[in-house]
Structure 1
């Protein structure tokens, strides 16, 4: 265990991180909008367009995991107080998780809860909190909590490899472990396993490694935007190849054999890293044009990304219900941009408004009069 000998280092702010968070939360909303292509009964161009957007946007959670590793490694590089570290981590995530678990449990089960006993409703809530099942997007909290708990161990291991000049070896080992795990969950042997953080180990330690080598990595990426964008597009199409085969040969998305996805799992780590690099270059370009409307919007989305992530499902599901009541459904092209736009705009505006209230940090991670980094 690490002993407290020094306060955490307060390094300079990395402006690109805000833009990357903005890209990440936009991708999350895209996933939760385009994902309804799985409900379309026949394969067509609408399915294909949404599939490609969905496959590309899946970088979102890996990116947030990488950012967490990066930020924690910069703030807590060596010796620090474990007590203070864990208190700050609990404060930054547990109140928000508990509050939204309660809200989403009620939102998704209100009709049933009205006709159930108090004890039954409490049991449902406790089950949702323990299993991160109050809403389908809260699974992220289970993963990030596991990484917070393991961070001191991961850093000890990383520093051990670093001291012997083998930090890159640890990154590669975690890549192998993650890939084997992700392939394994599509087989009989690992299906249903709950240690989902293993599927993101590589991204987290890559964030730690990036924090340790940030300056040279940043210099080496200049002028690569077009190449990285092209590679991301190629890998998007390649990663969806077997899914398209499944959809065009009569399978529904939910019934495509798991072994169809193994090839994609082998490609995903390289695909995600290339996408991260592309987005980092995009962030650098936006910093140079920070006064433009697009740059300001992405930066603001990044600033409120945690709150938007938490709250957006309320607006996403409400928009879908509203459209379907008006006979606009998953088979309609107009359905997807409307749901995306409504979800994004109302999520941002609501988080922005709530941030003016006292103690809003404990609800959405943002407070206008006193900003606290996640």
Structure 2
């Protein structure tokens, strides 16, 4: 029989979640900054540092998926209106996705679109919307939309296993399915398939499972932060070693054979879980603090959805500006400058936009009147 008592996680705001969003959006920007190491023609120390940073930071999207599962299960569990559920999901993500698909289609194709007939531009826009191709970071929306669609089925399956006291078995099944799917993407059989929600199903399930055990997670393991950090760094080195072998054999990153990535796929789930626990402990340590770090991470978390949507504009402009001064991805200074500029300008832009009428439908957040946030934000 399912426990029908009030879930303590429903009471008030869970500050740890906002902090985790803040850490997550910083990791996203790190990925989209350090990823330019792939354009450096020769393997060197700069490539190595950025590769390690990139592999470690890849926890970001799995973390956002986990948070989505956590918050959805917190609000929609045993009995809820499917109509209301889907209406709120559409409002929380589709307008923002469409607006930024249009904006990035124009941003990335303006030179071509100026000379194209209207019909050709509409076809390009429609293709980008359907395939989430307007910008390389919008693929996240195809994943989260699919998870929204299948959530009522997922939560029913989870509830069934939980009632049988076998929720852990379901987590194991989801992990196996996810690993097999990811391994398949690096083979000729699955290689042409686009990433979909199956690639993140375990993390979504872990979000639901974590909600059921949140108080236990919140009150235990505080002394294990150094262990989680050590494990995360060690697994980062282990997962990176396969790629390093490919680079030292003379391959460019984009030309490394797919089988070099099969080994890392076995490591990534453990690395992600360890990293989740590391940042959850860091988030717990920020609760109740009133220092500069707490304020920064909290603000970034509050505006993380909008920052995720808009940051590529500033990332690309920062890169273009530096390259005009002959500072490119082969220079050490390139990476911290691009990262810092992207974080600061993205936050300021989203903060200002939050005061606009209907800003919720653009960036998922509004500051006046009382903030109306999407139920599942990035």
Q: TM-score range by the shorter chain?
A: over 0.9
Shift, 1:326, TM fit: 1.2
Partner SS for 2:223: coil
Q: 5+ residue gaps in structure 1?
A: 1-8
Partner SS for 2:77: coil
Does residue 54 of structure 2 align to residue 63 of structure 1?
Answer: no
Q: 5+ residue gaps in structure 2?
A: 1-8
Does residue 319 of structure 2 align to residue 323 of structure 1?
Answer: no
In the alignment, the residues of structure 1 paired with residue 124 and residue 179 of structure 2 have an alpha-carbon distance, to the nearest angstrom, of: 34
Residues 201-220 of structure 1 mapped to structure 2, 5 A cutoff: 201-220=201-220
Shift, 1:220, TM fit: 2.5
In the alignment, the residues of structure 2 paired with residue 32 and residue 195 of structure 1 have an alpha-carbon distance, to the nearest angstrom, of: 18
**Deviation string, structure 1 residues 189-229 (Cα, Å, up to 9, x no partner):** 11121351101000000000000111112222221111111
Contact 2:178 2:201 in 1 (8 A): yes
Residues 223-372 of structure 1 mapped to structure 2, 5 A cutoff: 223-289=223-289, 291-369=290-368, 370-372=370-372
Distance 1:10 1:372, change over 3 A: farther
In the alignment, the residues of structure 2 paired with residue 117 and residue 217 of structure 1 have an alpha-carbon distance, to the nearest angstrom, of: 57
Aligned Cα root-mean-square deviation (Å): 1.0
How many residues are aligned here?
A: 365
Contact 2:360 2:373 in 1 (8 A): no
In the alignment, the residues of structure 2 paired with residue 136 and residue 194 of structure 1 have an alpha-carbon distance, to the nearest angstrom, of: 13
Shift, 1:330, TM fit: 0.8
Shift, 1:315, TM fit: 0.4
In the alignment, the residues of structure 2 paired with residue 192 and residue 36 of structure 1 have an alpha-carbon distance, to the nearest angstrom, of: 24
Contact 1:11 1:75 in 2 (8 A): no
Residues 1-374 of structure 1 mapped to structure 2, 5 A cutoff: 10-194=10-194, 196-289=196-289, 291-369=290-368, 370-374=370-374
In the alignment, the residues of structure 1 paired with residue 177 and residue 334 of structure 2 have an alpha-carbon distance, to the nearest angstrom, of: 40
Shift, 1:10, TM fit: 4.9
Contact 2:366 2:373 in 1 (8 A): no
In the alignment, the residues of structure 2 paired with residue 10 and residue 275 of structure 1 have an alpha-carbon distance, to the nearest angstrom, of: 25
User: Partner residue of 1:6?
Assistant: none
In the alignment, the residues of structure 2 paired with residue 281 and residue 288 of structure 1 have an alpha-carbon distance, to the nearest angstrom, of: 14
In the alignment, the residues of structure 2 paired with residue 89 and residue 56 of structure 1 have an alpha-carbon distance, to the nearest angstrom, of: 30
